[in-house]
Amino acid sequence: MATRVQGLPETAGVGVVGVGVRGQHSYEVWLAPRPDCRIVAVAQQPDPSTVMLEGKDPVGCAREWAARFGAEFMDDWRELVARPDVHLISLMADPLTAPLVTEEVARAGKPMIRDKYLAADLDGARQAVQACEAASVEMLVTYNVRYLPAVQHLLAELRGGTIGRPLTASFVYLVSGGPLAGFRATAEYARRVGGGELTCFGVYALDVVLEVFGAPPERVSASQGALFYDDYAEAGLEDLSQVTLRFADGALAHVLTGRTTTRPHPDCYFHLDVMGERGTLRALGPEPRHRCFAGETAALPWQGSWGVTAMVDDFLSCLRSGRPSPIPARRGYEVLQIVKAAYLSAREGRAVGLAEADSAGF
């Protein structure tokens, strides 16, 4: 029986599991400068993948990372999780391995921050959700785009009834300017992550769409391709996806997302439009400032690090006040279920229900 950590002490000890893994954003970087957090221990993830570490020595890079924070390096990640002076886990293991670590952390009764990929597949995602919910342990899945000022403003206007019931939403959310430095897509990367740019990047947009409509979709339709990167095509991964969601009340959402080789737009690379019964809301961002149009034009100033600071603040505040996580493990599962349904739809050329993705073994 897990002994649950009730809230957090005045200065929370943070343990890190997983170092140098491609696609994991090392949220301890945002925790370390806080006066209410201290990085106390670092361990490498179980079964580290040479592909996901992109040639780095698993132990060496973890030792160096621990030294950066003045933390103790530990050979055994399970011993790290069990430490009484570790109150919060930064879980940066790759998606294939993360559910195993999630189970152990949940058994220890400790909250965790999990970077965007809950798991590589739906079985792993269910494993993570069940572990957290059975132990009443809070997880933050880091869909930080909902914390961008323009998106926050749009959601507040929507919840305040400014445009009535939302009927349609269109979210164009693209990374432009080429691939991440040093990255090359491979079949092993695909196996350990579970997909291409819809998995990596589109999840942020899908989380916001679920916030707009307040319920999962009934049907998912998708078209996908490897239009910009030859290595994506060779690895069987998509770099661009167009996804349409139909909700039970007839509302529709459209998401265009991916990674392109084109030059970035100087003003923004996302725009979100929501049309309701009585009007339209628009959010633009992130450069040079976040903007939301709702009736009168509102310009909202940059608020560091893509909303990450606000998201982490919110999560720690929830832990200390006994409130549930703003983005729990279950939301991670709901988003991944849409992603997998989109892959099934693109493969079979038809609209699919969410349950079909589960039964298809994604």
What's the CATH number where 62 sits?
3.40.50.720
Percent of the chain with pLDDT over 90: 78
| Domain match, 196 and 272 both | yes
Residue type, 28: E
SS3 state at 280: strand
Distance CA 190, CA 161 (A): 42
Are 75 and 211 contained in the same domain? no
Percent of the chain with pLDDT over 70: 91
- Phi then psi dihedrals of residue 227, to 5 deg: -95, -20
What local confidence, expressed as pLDDT, does residue 307 receive?
Answer: 86
Residues 98 and 188 in one domain: no
Q: What is the mean pLDDT of residues 157-164?
A: 95
Q: How many residues does the chain have?
A: 362
99 and 39 assigned to the same domain: yes
Shared domain for 176 and 81, answered yes or no, is: no
Q: What is the pLDDT of residue 269?
A: 72
Q: Domain range for residue 257? A: 145-311+337-359
Q: Which pLDDT score is estimated for 290?
A: 54
Residue 59 domain-assigned (yes or no): yes
SS3 state at 171: strand
Q: Specify if 216 maps to a domain.
A: yes
Mean pLDDT of the region 105-132:
97
Mean per-residue pLDDT, 305-316: 89
Cis peptide, bond prior to residue 149, ω within 30 of zero: no
Q: Which of 24-38, 39-53, 293-307 has the lowest mean pLDDT?
A: 293-307
**Distance (Å, rounded) from C-alpha 139 to C-alpha 329?**
6
Indicate whether 105 and 46 sit together in one domain.
yes
**Average pLDDT value for residue range 138-142:** 98
Note the pLDDT tens digit of each residue in 167-209. 999 999 988 877 777 788 999 999 999 999 999 999 999 999 9
Confidence category of residue 286, pLDDT binned at 50, 70, 90: low
Regarding whether 239 and 343 lie in a shared domain, the answer is yes
Nearest one of 211, 207, 196, 210 to 258, comparing CA atoms: 196
CATH code where residue 282 lies: 3.30.360.10
pLDDT surpasses 50 at 1: no
Does the residue 277 lie in any domain? yes
Instruction: Using pLDDT thresholds of 50, 70 and 90, give the confidence band for residue 6.
Output: low
How many CB atoms neighbour CB 177 within 10 A? Answer: 13
Say if 221 falls within a structural domain: yes
How far is it, in rounded angstroms, from Cα 342 to Cα 258?
Answer: 14
Does one domain contain both 167 and 89? Answer: no
Q: Would you state the pLDDT for residue 338?
A: 98
Residue 94 in any domain: the answer is yes
Q: How sure is the predictor about 267, in pLDDT bands with cuts at 50, 70 and 90?
A: low
Mean pLDDT, the chain, integer: 91
Domain match, 105 and 151 both:
no
Asked if 162 and 277 touch (Cβ cutoff 8 Å), the reply is: no
Average pLDDT over residues 227-246: 96
Does residue 293 sit within a domain?
yes
Instruction: Give the C-alpha separation, 76 to 198, whole Å.
Output: 33
Does a structural domain hold residue 127? Answer: no
Strand partners, 220: 245, 352
Residues 33 and 104 in one domain: yes
pLDDT band (50, 70, 90) for residue 270: confident
Of the pLDDT bands very low, low, confident and very high (cuts 50, 70, 90), residue 302 is very low
Instruction: Return the pLDDT at 268.
Output: 56
CA distance 24 to 22: 6
| Distance in angstroms (rounded) separating the CA atoms of residues 359 and 362 | 8
Ramachandran class of 77: left when φ > 0, alpha when ψ lies in -120 to 50, beta otherwise: alpha
4 located within any domain: no
> Is the per-residue pLDDT at 155 higher than 70?
yes
Cβ proximity of 288 and 6 under 8 Å: no
CA distance 86 to 12: 7
DSSP state of 108: T
3-state DSSP percent of the chain in helix, strand and coil, to 5: 35, 25, 40
Count the alpha carbons within 13 Å of 312 in the hemisphere toward its beta carbon: 23
| Tokens, residue 249 | 């009340």
- Give the per-residue pLDDT at 284: 84
pLDDT digit string (tens) for 74-116?
A: 999 999 999 999 999 999 999 999 999 999 999 999 999 999 9
Same domain, residue pair 91 and 164: no
Q: How many domains does the chain have?
A: 2
CB atoms within 10 A of CB 315: 22
Where residue 3 falls among pLDDT bands split at 50, 70, 90?
very low
178, 109: one domain: no
